[in-house]
Structure 1
Amino acid sequence: MNIKIRQEHPSDCKKIEDVVKMAFLNVEQSDKQEHFLVNKIRESVAFVSDLSLVAINQETDEIVGHILLSKITIVSSNLTVDSLALAPVAVAPEYHKKGVGSQLINAALKRAKELGFQSVIVLGHKDYYPKFGFKKASLWNIKAPFEVPDEVFMAIELTKDSLTNVQGTVNYSKAFMSES
């Protein structure tokens, strides 16, 4: 199966919504609102169009996955640092365990680095994200703005030592607030 990763087009929005809905339909930890989150981020100042990517099955020309990185800040009493949130990443259920998610994550991290972003934060599976280089955010004294197990709140430096002098609490965009 050949997968092509590209930036989303405006005409992709409905299909992306469908893929995101299906991807989270049977996920126990999901509130089933991820497709609303994608739409809200897309309409917010946190949206970076270059970092909303789709995975295309080149044989069928259909969208089978989506990833979104959006702007956030890490705030301490004396410093505010720009970063990105990886949320959500979605793969159509019939394409799970075929490397589509990995291709999306690798492409998004590479593109974010090319655009000059320094770091990415993710709230995700403790055994999945470390294979991309994510480590517990607490190693840099970076905290979530809500209660969350330490091992699932992670960060990655896209540029060496970019988080060395960074600490504080992640400030997500208003798009992440729960009302849909």
Structure 2
Amino acid sequence: MRDVHRDAFAGSEGTPAEVGLVDALRADVGWIPALSIVAVEPDGQIVGHVVATRGHVDGRPALGLGPIGVLSRVQRRGVGSALMHAVLAAADARDEPLVVLLGHTEYYPRFGFVPSTELGIAPPDPEWAAHFQARALTAHTPELTGTFEYAKPFNDL
């Protein structure tokens, strides 16, 4: 997984922050093994990874999605979309109520994400508001509103 995120987020010198973030998330109480999903080629090579970890909305359980990474040589071939569908389906099957992410506003709506404020969810940093998105899952209730808090490693970035 480290190699996937290193390649997917390459662009500047040094190790991308996402590599260390995944390591820190794996060691955190918010890590949910069933929501760490990899994409594998027929030869067994891991080419993509997505993770959702325990977060909270005013103390109530929810999920924070990310990072999601795909090796550059297989990007734009549907691997990222397959990972998104898989992690959202797995979260829904676990009766999770809500998934949030910070991401591109023209990409993530195809997976059902809307501006988080439409669901009454405030970002942990108000400056993120334009890109902070949420998706309600089957177990969602309208009472789940408030400010989202990511797993601790996100705060250490």
TM-score (structure 2 length as normaliser): 0.92
Question: What corresponds to 1:33 in structure 2?
Answer: 17
Number of residue pairs matched by the alignment: 155
Per-residue CA deviations over 1:86-123 (Å, capped at 9, x if unaligned) read 01000000111000000001001001111111110010
- 2:39 aligned with 1:55: yes
Amino acid at match of 1:167: T
Question: What corresponds to 1:109 in structure 2?
Answer: 88
Q: Which SS does the other structure have where 1:46 is aligned?
A: coil
Q: Is the CA contact 2:63–2:100 (under 8 Å) kept in the aligned structure 1?
A: yes
CA RMSD of aligned residues (A): 1.6
Per-residue CA deviations over 1:33-75 (Å, capped at 9, x if unaligned) read 00111011110110000110100011x3210000000000001
Q: Which SS does the other structure have where 1:87 is aligned?
A: strand
Question: What corresponds to 1:95 in structure 2?
Answer: 74
Question: What corresponds to 1:165 in structure 2?
Answer: 143
Q: Which SS does the other structure have where 2:130 is aligned?
A: helix
Question: What corresponds to 2:51 in structure 1?
Answer: 68
| TM superposition outliers: structure 1 runs of 4+ over 2 Å | 147-151
Higher strand share: 1
Unpaired segments of 5 or more residues in structure 2? none
Unpaired segments of 5 or more residues in structure 1? 1-15
Q: How many angstroms apart in 2 are the aligned matches of 1:98 and 1:128?
A: 15
Q: Is the CA contact 1:67–1:89 (under 8 Å) kept in the aligned structure 2?
A: yes
Q: How many angstroms apart in 1 are the aligned matches of 2:6 and 2:51?
A: 15
State the Cα distance separating 1:152 from its structure 2 match.
1.2
- 2:124 aligned with 1:140: no
